[in-house]
């Protein structure tokens, strides 16, 4: 099939590359000429494991192309995916729909023949109706339908998630459009049905509700971790115990410094704004948002407290800056609040992240960055593990002990065993243990 993806950011590029790998002919569109030039040369502007190889394979096969010309790309397409950004709007937290609406207008002017317009971006309930209205207003005679097809990609595992999804949600009621979407995703339907069809508004809400529920699990286990510390319990044991209940499950029950990234923060806020618009308060989600904001700041205070409440003039080593491993994404990363809390208290922050330091430099100032984690720890008064990169799981603990001015490790991801760390002569502080 001939597919077009408007927007060559994280979702658009992963989707386009994977679609082309399925055998579809794909054109990815973006207004950023430098990005398109880089992609045409086989370069990838974002870090996602395996994506660079997939893009180069698609280009070599001739099934994956890149352009800045929306009109040229859309003419003759079977389906056009809108995969542009929907960041939180400053002031009210609502998803900013300016890019989605602009894409709809440009698509409308280029349509030829029946075309399925697919909202791949994370959008509030009713966006499909608005996109349909914009297109009909711009091109009254256009033959099209609008469907919702939210993405459920995890940064760091996006290609596997796309190719081996637990579900593909398609929202719409036009049978021609649904038939096209079934053909688009036919390579995924092998032996079992992964495609779930529902109404367009239900599909739009499914994405927000899913992310809000996962965020709730994170906020819940973080508060249980605080209780564990007070009563002498171990949150790892508690999480394991409750996770064995298949009604609860073990995923997203890992205590830590709070959630971040491109989805949970903005999607929970957008859900709250939508609920407010419809006068249907979401008090649980509201509590989750507030708890997560407090959590990040509390982790900064935790580091200060283990150093007797005084970090002024002290050097603190931060290992991990991105909101999760296997990505360079710094959006709403817990490290931002932690670093700023330490700096506000007078600490000198030295940091290392395997791939995220260039992005971190855009949001964090007065931080000294190191290409080697041991250089960051040299002469520090404490080392703080903020992101659970694999390269931090087997650090040379005796070497750390020899480098630190004070033998203090604060493990905000619980990736180490207390016995092992303390056997190396370090004082160990974890979360909920």
Question: What residue ranges define each of the domains in the chain, with the CATH number in brackets?
Answer: 2-198 (3.40.50.720), 232-433 (3.40.50.720)
Chain segment 185-235, per-residue pLDDT in tens = 999 876 566 899 999 999 999 999 999 999 999 999 999 999 999 999 999
Q: Are 178 and 68 in contact (CB under 8 A)?
A: no
Q: Are 26 and 62 in contact (CB under 8 A)?
A: no
β-bridge partners, 25:
2
Reported confidence tier of residue 302, pLDDT bands at 50, 70, 90? very high
Q: Is the pLDDT of residue 428 over 70?
A: yes
- Single out the catalytic residue among 18, 28, 228, 263: 263
The question of whether 18 is a catalytic residue gets the answer no
Q: Are 352 and 370 in contact (CB under 8 A)?
A: yes
β-bridge partners, 410:
384, 429
Q: Residue 262 has what pLDDT?
A: 85
Chain segment 118-153, per-residue pLDDT in tens = 999 999 999 999 999 999 999 999 999 999 999 999
Q: Residue 368 has what pLDDT?
A: 98
Reported confidence tier of residue 89, pLDDT bands at 50, 70, 90? confident
CA distances from 189 to 157, 158, 196, 420 (A): 20, 18, 11, 46
Q: Are 99 and 122 in contact (CB under 8 A)?
A: no
Q: Are 51 and 88 in contact (CB under 8 A)?
A: no
Q: Annotate 56-69 with DSSP letters as a single string.
A: HHHHHHTSEEEES-
Please state the length of the chain: 433
């Amino acid at each position: 099939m001939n597919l077009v993806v408007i927007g060559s950011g994280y979702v658009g590029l992963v989707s386009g590359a994977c679609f082309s790998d399925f055998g579809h002919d794909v054109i990815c569109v973006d207004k950023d000429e430098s990005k398109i030039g880089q992609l045409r040369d086989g370069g990838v502007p974002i870090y996602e494991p395996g994506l660079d190889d997939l893009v180069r394979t698609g280009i070599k096969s001739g099934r994956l192309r890149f352009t800045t010309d929306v009109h040229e790309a859309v003419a003759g397409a079977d389906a056009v995916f809108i995969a542009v950004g929907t960041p939180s709007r400053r002031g009210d937290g609502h998803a900013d729909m300016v890019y989605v609406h602009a894409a709809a207008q440009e698509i409308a002017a280029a349509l030829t023949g029946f075309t399925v317009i697919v909202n791949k971006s994370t959008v509030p309930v009713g966006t499909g109706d608005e996109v349909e209205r914009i297109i009909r207003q711009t091109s009254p005679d256009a033959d099209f339908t609008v469907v919702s097809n939210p993405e459920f990609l995890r940064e760091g595992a996006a290609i596997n998630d796309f190719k081996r999804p637990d579900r593909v949600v398609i929202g719409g009621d036009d049978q021609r459009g649904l038939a096209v979407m079934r053909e688009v995703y036919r390579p995924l339907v092998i032996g079992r049905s992964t495609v779930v069809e529902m109404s367009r508004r239900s599909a739009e809400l499914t994405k927000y509700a899913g992310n809000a529920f996962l965020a709730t699990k994170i906020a819940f286990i973080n508060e249980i971790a605080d209780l564990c510390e007070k009563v002498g319990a171990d949150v790892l044991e508690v999480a394991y115990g409750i996770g064995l209940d298949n009604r609860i499950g073990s995923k997203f029950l890992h205590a830590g410094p709070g959630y971040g990234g491109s989805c949970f923060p903005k999607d929970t806020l957008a859900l709250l704004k939508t609920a407010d618009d419809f006068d249907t308060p979401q008090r649980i989600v509201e509590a989750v948002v507030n708890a997560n904001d407090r959590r990040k700041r509390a982790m900064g205070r935790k580091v200060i407290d283990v150093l007797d409440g005084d970090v002024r003039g002290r050097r603190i080593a931060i290992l991990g800056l991105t909101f999760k491993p296997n990505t360079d994404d710094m959006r709403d990363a817990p490290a931002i609040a932690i670093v700023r809390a330490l700096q506000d208290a007078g600490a000198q922050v030295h940091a290392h992240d395997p791939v995220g330091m260039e992005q971190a430099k855009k949001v964090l100032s007065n931080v000294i960055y190191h290409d080697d984690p041991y250089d960051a720890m040299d002469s520090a008064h404490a080392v703080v593990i903020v992101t659970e990169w694999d390269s931090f799981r087997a650090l040379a603990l005796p070497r750390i002990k020899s480098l630190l001015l004070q033998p203090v490790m604060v493990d905000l991801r619980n990736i180490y065993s207390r016995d092992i760390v303390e056997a190396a002569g370090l004082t160990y502080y974890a979360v909920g243990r």
